[in-house]
Amino acid sequence: MASRRKQLLTRLIIVVGVLVIVTTVGWLLIRPRLFASMGYVVADEFSRMPADDVALVEWLKQQPGVVEHAVYAHREGKTLKVDFIQVKNLAGSPQFPALDERARELGYQGGHGFRDDR
């Protein structure tokens, strides 16, 4: 009787182990193929900004995964707010656009880094 229990327990452990392996491999294989739209609202305060935000908006529209018709920028005093949608897979690709770096290149000065503004 004890031998039969041992056999059943061994089989159960094997079955559970195989299920865990199959589930893990399946998740790793499907993650890059499942996509989600992520909405972002970010803001940064600058001491100096270009006359308009057209160049930054146009650059952002060209970034991987960014939905071109869903990019907006508006100012509130010295604060620049940027709203956009980016489609990513569940593995997190593509990466969040390098807004801070591009803003500096375009002449935005004195910023502390774009942060979530919701």
Is 9's pLDDT higher than 70?
yes
Residues in contact with 102: Cβ distance below 8 Å, sequence separation at least 6, in sequence order: 56, 59, 60
pLDDT at 2: 75
Residues 56 and 83 reside in one and the same domain: yes
Burial of 84 (0-12, 13-18, 19+ CB in 10 A): buried
Residues 97 and 48 reside in one and the same domain: yes
Q: Lowest mean pLDDT of 23-32, 80-89, 97-106, name the range.
A: 23-32
**Which residue range forms the structural domain that includes residue 10?**
2-31
Q: In the predicted model, what is the mean pLDDT of residues 105-115?
A: 97
Q: In the predicted model, what is the mean pLDDT of residues 48-68?
A: 98
Residues 21 and 61 reside in one and the same domain: no
| 16, 44, 55, 84 from 49: Cα distances, Å | 59, 11, 12, 20
What is the spatial distance between Cα 59 and Cα 111, in angstroms, rounded to a whole number? 18
Residues 16 and 55 reside in one and the same domain: no
Residues 24 and 8 reside in one and the same domain: yes
Chain mean pLDDT for the chain:
93
Domain count, the chain: 2
- The sign of the CA dihedral 27, 33, 39, 40 is positive
Helix/strand/coil for 37: strand
Q: In the predicted model, what is the mean pLDDT of residues 15-21?
A: 88
pLDDT at 88: 96
